[in-house]
Amino acid sequence: MNVEKQYQALCESWRVELEEKQRQFEQAKGQILGPRDLELMRVAMMDKVEAPLRAKCDLLARVSDLSSPSISLEQDEITAFWFWYMYVLVGWTRSFPYISPPCV
C-alpha cells in the first residue's frame, strides 16, 4: 500500500507540473505574432525607414526636371543607396522587375 500511495503522489505531482507547463505554454503562445502580423510590422518598418529617402528622391526628381546638371551626381548616389538598401536590408534582388528604384 505504501508503494501505491507513493506512485499516486508521484503521478499527482507530474499532473500538477504538466498543468503548470501547459499554462506557461499557452501564455507564451499568446505572445507570438502570426505571419500576417509580422508582415504588417515589416512593411510598416520599411515605410518608416524609406520615407525620408523617398522624400529626398522625389525632391531631387522635381529639381532635376529643371535640367540642373549639378543634381545628377547626388541623384545617382541616392539611387545607388536605394539599391543597396533594398538588396542588403530587405533581401531584394534585381530578379524582381516590378520594383523600381525611386529616382530612376
25 and 49 both lie in a single domain? no
What range defines the domain where residue 75 resides? 35-104
52 and 18 both lie in a single domain? no
Which residue matches cell numbers 499557452?
Answer: 26
28 and 77 both lie in a single domain? no
Cα separation, 100 vs 80, whole angstroms? 12
Cα separation, 4 vs 1, whole angstroms? 5
39 and 86 both lie in a single domain? yes
89 and 60 both lie in a single domain? yes
25 and 61 both lie in a single domain? no
Q: Give the pLDDT score at 104.
A: 45
5 and 41 both lie in a single domain? no
Per the structure, how many domains does the chain have?
2
pLDDT digits over 28-66, tens only?
888 887 888 888 888 888 888 888 888 877 777 776 666
pTM: predicted TM-score of the whole model, two decimal places: 0.37
Cα separation, 64 vs 58, whole angstroms? 10
Sequence letter at residue 12: E
C-alpha distances out from residue 49 to 46, 79, 85, Å: 5, 15, 10
70 and 104 both lie in a single domain? yes
9 and 22 both lie in a single domain? yes
Cα separation, 51 vs 98, whole angstroms? 19
15 and 42 both lie in a single domain? no
